[in-house]
Chains A and B, each alone.
Chain A
């Protein structure tokens, strides 16, 4: 069993817990579990096991921070709930770091499953997105985090924006639609015609959901690249205990298999020759680069100072073979007639 298979099993278990978990831990327990998860598990889902930190942040920006400033209140008191949420988020984040994206997030798992489906349907999974597109896309997640999670909710609290902008990110988040639909609830896949703001956001959210599904069949992790949670996690990546570490060798320059394996197309993992910590802002700590690194100990996943998974030539050979086997079987290949064995003389 390789790391990718173990990760898939963890992802599926986490998906079950995040999407259907209240049946396991109790209907109300979720409200007290953390409410600050560093992954897109949605509070709009009645059966969620826990929910993401972005929803309390948005509400606190509007109802606590914004309103406190508007009323000349005690700013520290207004900020206190945000600090508590941030503290809870950080406790979780230190423990698993950006692996929340690569191992826990239900939306990330869903996109990976679609990617596998795309590969099996022969939709020619693109190994890597063009470098220019990757670089142009990277700032989007920071803009989404700044404007939709903090700026517009604060403006609402100050009274300068429509009350419908209290939780603007949630209004477009594909996880809201996905996690409710997987529970048989269609209430979130709607066009809200209450006013132009809600209509615009709901249309954009629905469109984004459809776009993400189609793109995930051909491009790896399309939504993750603009996800504000990725930006949030990137902000605190230095304090996470789990890290991607590189001990560059002279062979690295000619290789580049790590960058090709990366679902987020982080080419810097290949080109970086000086830094040890290569947990870049887009890294989800999935570990694929370590799996596909053919050189002993060049790439490692380290928990604090302890290596938990290291690159090795033997593992690389087995992993490459397994990958070839996996990619060989597609729907198209199943349709082809089996080769007839030659008749014996």
Chain B
């Protein structure tokens, strides 16, 4: 398995490295990354807390609403650099609905069922076909569908599939390893260069292996980390890759929110030490019990 991952301080070394590694396709590192089509939250950073159901959010105006009233509401999202694109809303059963863009913003339709839905934006400019995907958890009656079905479905020609999408009680987090599969027309694409960029300005590059798999550690790039998960708003990351055929140039992005690594305010060493104290205390209590019993017997 050939997976390469490295920090990329500037674009030129990446070009050299990718050429050296013999990648069959390569992100045009000199391209203006600001022109990529990305589905993102309306603000620069996502709201804090869980990105999906059962979430904890900072107590504020939104939290003051009864949760039951928020159930079934659509999500507010934004399509960056997506003029002229068509946005489709994919339900867990793979049915689709077109979403109306209001400028660069749009509201997802009210979901009929719960679980992950996909937002897929596509547009074509001459020989360039661009796509952007984002998965969003929505509440409703039970969908009875696995998110793996939605993730695995071919929604556009060139696609980055999360493998898997974090399920309930889990979320994308900095400093942790996450896997994705690059597919072209539904088939894994090997040797493809994928770039991960964050809203905090970090960039990591990787090349897909024979199974189309790329593995990233999301950079721990939150500048001001405060102790406590809810005190640190989520940031956004996007994955970008491109692929050229004889007649067409394909580009695709996958975006999601990610959260600060809680190890900033958690100590594993202290945890082990405290558990050790518990062990000693337990051994002591057990020992007293044994000696009392011996005493009674005598």
Partner of B281, one of A123, A191, A210: A210
**Closest partner residue, chain B, to A188 (CB atom):** B271
**Chain A contacts for B290, CB-based, 8 A:** 123-124, 126, 218
Flag if A163 contacts B56 (CB, 8 Å).
Answer: yes
Partner of B267, one of A68, A123, A193, A195: A193
**Chain A contacts for B274, CB-based, 8 A:** 191, 203, 206-207, 210
Partner of A214, one of B147, B164, B286: B286
**Chain B contacts for A59, CB-based, 8 A:** 54
CA distance A78 to B66 in the complex (A): 9
Partner of A211, one of B54, B164, B278: B278
Partner of A194, one of B170, B227, B287: B227
Chain B: number of interface residues, binned into ranges:
35 or more
Flag if B167 contacts A31 (CB, 8 Å).
Answer: yes
What sequence of 0s and 1s flags, for each residue 263-289 of chain B, a beta carbon within 8 Å of any chain A beta carbon?
101111011101111111111011101
What sequence of 0s and 1s flags, for each residue 146-173 of chain B, a beta carbon within 8 Å of any chain A beta carbon?
1110000000000000001001111000
**Chain B contacts for A217, CB-based, 8 A:** 282-283, 286
Q: How many pairs of A and B residues are in contact by the CB < 8 Å rule?
A: 149
Flag if B268 contacts A210 (CB, 8 Å).
Answer: no
Flag if A214 contacts B279 (CB, 8 Å).
Answer: yes
CA distance A341 to B188 in the complex (A): 70
CA distance A182 to B268 in the complex (A): 16
Residues of A whose CB lies within 8 Å of any CB of B are 26-32, 43-44, 46, 55, 59, 63-64, 67-68, 71, 73-74, 77-78, 123-124, 126, 129, 159, 163, 166, 177, 186-187, 189-195, 198, 202-203, 206-215, 217-219, 222
Residues of B whose CB lies within 8 Å of any CB of A are 54, 56, 59, 64-69, 142, 144, 146-148, 164, 167-170, 227-231, 262-263, 265-268, 270-272, 274-283, 285-287, 289-290, 293
16 A-B Cβ contacts within 8 A? A27-B167, A31-B168, A46-B170, A63-B54, A71-B65, A126-B286, A159-B59, A177-B275, A193-B266, A202-B271, A206-B278, A210-B277, A210-B279, A211-B285, A214-B280, A219-B289
